[in-house]
A and B are shown apart, each in its own frame.
Chain A
Amino acid sequence: MSRVILKMNDIHKKFPGVYALKNAQLDLEYGEVHALLGENGAGKSTLIKVLGGIYKPDQGEIYFKDEKIDINSVHDAQARGISIIHQEICLVPYMTVAENFFLGREADKSKSLFGSVDDNRMNLEAQEILDQLDLDISATQKVDSLSIAKQQMVEIAKALLKESSIIVMDEPTASLSGKEVDKLFDTIKKLKKKDIAIIYISHRMEELFKICDKVTVMRDGEYIGTRETTKTTMDELIMMMVGRELKDLYVKGEHQIGEPILEVRHLSNDKLKNINFKLHKGELLGISGLVGAGRSELAKALFGIDKISEGQVILEGKEISIASPLQAMKNGIALVPESRKEEGLVLIGQVGFNITLPVIEQFDKGYALDNEHEDCLINQYIKSLNIKTPSASQIVGNLSGGNQQKIVIAKWLASNPKVLILDEPTRGVDVGAKGEIYGIMTELVKSGVSIIMISSELPEVINMSDRVLVMHGGQITGELQKEELEQEKIMKLATGGI
């Protein structure tokens, strides 16, 4: 018997104006972890949606367990044991883990007396699966009491329950910290042993080499090639992805670091304890730490989202009060928030609408807005940040993650900030756009803007920062100069070890 479980051949899918998939293909074997790699917009998600029955291909063949099949609906896909774990967590927060597991299937799993839902049995079965994966989660816990990482694990366990033969994981590590990623990888290895095939989508290249057996690269909706991870290099994969050689992802020229511009003294609130640091003009200060260390909370406090209960913030020698984002903006502080979809963008709004939202004041003529000057500014940013959009009136939700992120950055550049806080600036962004975002950051510090960059990606922190603060438990546990930046040192401080 062949080891091939899934064969997708010559898949084509057209949307009006976009040829999303042309000649895409994928061969998957039992017990294999197979990465699907490509920039945003390369067609990965469309291909997955074809597999999951969300889109119907215009052309192409799908063989599943040596049988030619049509996948006409999400139900079809699920019935065959194809589970897709989406990037966004799809659990009902107010229900228990077990209730989530059996959502919509309570009846067939628990035909007890009087047809009532058999909670005990559901809990037991759910617990069994959680234990199989060594997850430290109780089936009777409410989902909203779990960390994001654990919720993700619950999603995976849920797929197991359905007796899946193929599990697709879309950016499973996007919101996980180092230790949690290890845990996830352990789980994946266990799934492999059960002969389950896994399609793994991630922008983090290091991970692919750690966990995947094979990589299929896509570009512009086309199949480019498949490689075994042991027989390829990161450079080769990147070249396949972008279609050209990518010299040095982290472009960082020389730049002048000036006088201190921002000083934070003894800052505390209910999530932060006694934060002290200085930021210099033209400096790129990295903030590292694990999820929950208080990094985003620091950003929120400095931007007036969260209240500061104690301490001082001194900007250019003067103490300032930051009680609202508007006040922060007026003082020249800007924040590109962690989650672009929830906090960064009005997804149903147009590109232009979003870019000028914080600075619309500039175009207020009193009786109306000056649309002509506004359009100029919008087009200028679309051009200078290389935002790939058909026009300024495109709806933001229709663009790729990388382009969305550039729009959030454009929003804040338009306000001409002195201090720009970037919270996970390249999360869920493809390599090409990543390089461009690093380029923008470099340009900014060269022009004298000071940047605070919060990031969970160590290579990014190490290569981009002039100096790094490490946080743990709401406190700054250490400061590392450029010369001292090493992964181990950062991790030690991040986990609270001295």
Chain B
Amino acid sequence: MQMEAKVNMPKRQGFGHKVLNGLLGYLKDNMGILVGFGVLCGALAIMSDAFLTPSNIMNVLRQATTNANLAIGLTLALIINGIDLSVGPILAISGTLTSGLIANNGVPIPIAILIGITLGTSLGFVNGKIISKTGIPPFIVTLAMMQIARGAAYVYTNGMPIRVMNESYNFLGNGYLGPIPLPIIYTTVLMVSVGYILTRTKLGRHIYAVGGNIDAARYSGINIAKVQLFVYTLSGFLAAFSGIILCARMYSGQPSVGTGYELDAIAASVLGGTSFTGGVGKIGGTLIGVLVISVLNNGLNLMNVNSFWQLIAKGIVILVAVYFDMMKKKAKPKTA
């Protein structure tokens, strides 16, 4: 019938053109939070001489990497209208297990890392499996996993930190590639990869569809269980990976590490424009959210604000930023 009309291919865009368009779109999408971020950085630069030094900038970025890795997982979980509260504890059990295997059992580093990552990824997989098979809300499932994984970390370490002084292992967390700390490189690779999955692949489409309208996705022949399984497994993997790197950096595996990290990751996602009702969110936005939180922490530290006040400041910033973002979206006209 008429649908089989001639296929007119659009003109190919030059690569440079595409990149430029992408960049402009990015700036436009994240205008509000970017302006806020700029103001924050500007204010800190004026108030503290130390803020804009290269070493401090690297420091901020390196500290941001753990939250960034976790926030990638949380962004995906929020996009599919779920949540993952278990990332902090999964980070802890994977990190302590790997540290313990190296320090106490003399397991070769690659194998210890593999075991740690496999454990965390499996816990994420279990989250996904339970959520997709039973229909128990993700909040509950991952809340339970949060307790289980944290408990396991304490059981495994007996509540004591595991010191791990192994040069090659510690290098993974403290090493540099040229002037750039290794964790920044890992995070860059992870963000680009997941961003690519979201924007350029079939799986990415399915993720947005499941979050945008789960029934419409089902009626479109999308395997919803598969999408959920992927997202929670990835989130588990990212937590495990972050835990191992973090322990390597700190020369020790502490069972209490990562307490409250899930909330920072949620905050970063939401600051970056991820919707709490699903279907909306981008890795690029989350990146800015992560940076805002890190810069805020760093700036308050530089100004010697005590850490109790930092919590209060962070809470207020999150409320204000999300409020403005909502107002901006509301102001967008609805046509037709």
User: A residues bordering B, Cβ < 8 Å?
Assistant: 15-18, 41, 303, 305, 324-326, 328-329, 335, 337, 342-349, 353, 356-358, 360-361, 363-364, 367-369, 372-373, 375-376, 379-381, 383-384, 390, 394, 397-400, 411, 413, 443-444, 446-447
CB of B335 within 8 A of CB of A15, answer yes
CB of A398 within 8 A of CB of B205, answer no
CB of B216 within 8 A of CB of A346, answer yes
CB of B202 within 8 A of CB of A364, answer yes
Interface SS, B side: loop
The residue of chain B having its C-beta at the shortest distance from the C-beta of A354 within the complex is B216
Q: How far is the CA of A437 from the CA of B168 in the complex (A)?
A: 67
Contact segment of B28-36, B93-101, B217-225, B312-320: B217-225
The residue of chain B having its C-beta at the shortest distance from the C-beta of A337 within the complex is B219
The residue of chain A having its C-beta at the shortest distance from the C-beta of B223 within the complex is A326
Q: Given B5, B8, B220, B279, which contacts A358 in the complex, CB threshold below 8 Å?
A: B220
The residue of chain B having its C-beta at the shortest distance from the C-beta of A347 within the complex is B213
A373 to chain B, nearest CB (A): 8
CB of B335 within 8 A of CB of A398, answer yes
1/0 contact string of B205-245 vs chain A (CB within 8 Å): 11011001101111111110000000000000000000000
CB of A344 within 8 A of CB of B216, answer yes
Q: How far is the CA of A398 from the CA of B335 in the complex (A)?
A: 6
* 8 A-B pairs with the lowest CB-CB distances in the bound complex, closest first: A346-B212, A326-B221, A447-B1, A368-B200, A358-B220, A325-B221, A346-B213, A16-B333
A359 to chain B, nearest CB (A): 9
The residue of chain B having its C-beta at the shortest distance from the C-beta of A345 within the complex is B216
Q: Which of B202, B205, B219, B336 has the most CB of A within 10 A?
A: B219
The residue of chain B having its C-beta at the shortest distance from the C-beta of A356 within the complex is B205
CB of A343 within 8 A of CB of B215, answer yes
The residue of chain B having its C-beta at the shortest distance from the C-beta of A16 within the complex is B333
CB of A346 within 8 A of CB of B279, answer yes
Q: Given B5, B208, B218, which contacts A380 in the complex, CB threshold below 8 Å?
A: B5
CB of B336 within 8 A of CB of A18, answer yes
> Is B330 positioned at the interface, with any CB of A under 8 Å from its CB?
no
CB of B223 within 8 A of CB of A357, answer no
Decide: A357 near B213, CB < 8 A? Known: A15-B334, A369-B205, A372-B9: no
CB of A325 within 8 A of CB of B220, answer yes
Decide: A444 near B1, CB < 8 A? Known: A357-B205, A357-B220, A360-B205: yes
Q: Given B1, B221, B333, which contacts A15 in the complex, CB threshold below 8 Å?
A: B333
Q: How far is the CA of A414 from the CA of B220 in the complex (A)?
A: 12
B317 to chain A, nearest CB (A): 26
CB of A384 within 8 A of CB of B215, answer no
CB of B200 within 8 A of CB of A344, answer no
B204 to chain A, nearest CB (A): 8
CB of A342 within 8 A of CB of B216, answer yes
CB of B213 within 8 A of CB of A342, answer yes
CB of B205 within 8 A of CB of A446, answer no
Q: How far is the CA of A326 from the CA of B1 in the complex (A)?
A: 25
User: B residues bordering A, Cβ < 8 Å?
Assistant: 1-3, 5, 7-10, 12, 196, 200-202, 205-206, 208-209, 212-213, 215-223, 279-280, 333-336
CB of B3 within 8 A of CB of A376, answer no
A-chain residues with CB within 8 Å of residue B9 when the two chains form the complex: 372-373, 376
B-chain residues with CB within 8 Å of residue A380 when the two chains form the complex: 3, 5, 7
CB of B1 within 8 A of CB of A346, answer no
B229 to chain A, nearest CB (A): 16
CB of B217 within 8 A of CB of A346, answer yes
B28 to chain A, nearest CB (A): 13
B-chain residues with CB within 8 Å of residue A15 when the two chains form the complex: 333-335
A-chain residues with CB within 8 Å of residue B209 when the two chains form the complex: 346, 349, 353, 357
Q: Given A344, A357, A394, A400, which contacts B222 in the complex, CB threshold below 8 Å?
A: A357
B-chain residues with CB within 8 Å of residue A376 when the two chains form the complex: 7-10
B-chain residues with CB within 8 Å of residue A18 when the two chains form the complex: 333, 335-336
A483 to chain B, nearest CB (A): 27
A-chain residues with CB within 8 Å of residue B335 when the two chains form the complex: 15-18, 390, 394, 398
Q: Which of B9, B196, B201, B205 has the most CB of A within 10 A?
A: B205
A-chain residues with CB within 8 Å of residue B208 when the two chains form the complex: 346, 349, 353
A-chain residues with CB within 8 Å of residue B8 when the two chains form the complex: 376, 379
B-chain residues with CB within 8 Å of residue A347 when the two chains form the complex: 212-213
B297 to chain A, nearest CB (A): 33
Q: How far is the CA of A328 from the CA of B78 in the complex (A)?
A: 30
B-chain residues with CB within 8 Å of residue A398 when the two chains form the complex: 334-336
CB of A345 within 8 A of CB of B213, answer yes
Q: Which of A17, A380, A444 has the most CB of B within 10 A?
A: A380
B212 to chain A, nearest CB (A): 4
Q: Given A326, A353, A379, which contacts B205 in the complex, CB threshold below 8 Å?
A: A353
CB of A400 within 8 A of CB of B336, answer yes
The residue of chain B having its C-beta at the shortest distance from the C-beta of A363 within the complex is B202
Q: How far is the CA of A376 from the CA of B12 in the complex (A)?
A: 12
B119 to chain A, nearest CB (A): 30
The residue of chain A having its C-beta at the shortest distance from the C-beta of B279 within the complex is A348
Decide: A342 near B221, CB < 8 A? Known: A17-B335, A384-B3, A444-B1: no
Q: How far is the CA of A364 from the CA of B164 in the complex (A)?
A: 45
B-chain residues with CB within 8 Å of residue A383 when the two chains form the complex: 5
The residue of chain B having its C-beta at the shortest distance from the C-beta of A446 within the complex is B1
The residue of chain A having its C-beta at the shortest distance from the C-beta of B215 within the complex is A343
CB of A348 within 8 A of CB of B280, answer yes
Q: Which of A358, A361, A381 has the most CB of B within 10 A?
A: A358
The residue of chain A having its C-beta at the shortest distance from the C-beta of B2 within the complex is A384
A269 to chain B, nearest CB (A): 17
B-chain residues with CB within 8 Å of residue A444 when the two chains form the complex: 1
CB of B10 within 8 A of CB of A375, answer yes
A68 to chain B, nearest CB (A): 28
Decide: A325 near B219, CB < 8 A? Known: A376-B10, A390-B335: yes
B-chain residues with CB within 8 Å of residue A364 when the two chains form the complex: 201-202
CB of B2 within 8 A of CB of A443, answer yes
B21 to chain A, nearest CB (A): 13
A55 to chain B, nearest CB (A): 11
CB of A360 within 8 A of CB of B202, answer yes
* Sample of 30 A–B contacts (CB below 8 Å): A15-B334, A17-B333, A325-B220, A325-B221, A326-B221, A329-B221, A345-B213, A346-B209, A347-B212, A348-B212, A348-B279, A349-B209, A349-B213, A349-B279, A358-B221, A361-B202, A368-B196, A369-B200, A369-B205, A372-B9, A372-B12, A376-B7, A376-B9, A380-B3, A380-B5, A400-B336, A411-B220, A443-B1, A444-B1, A447-B1
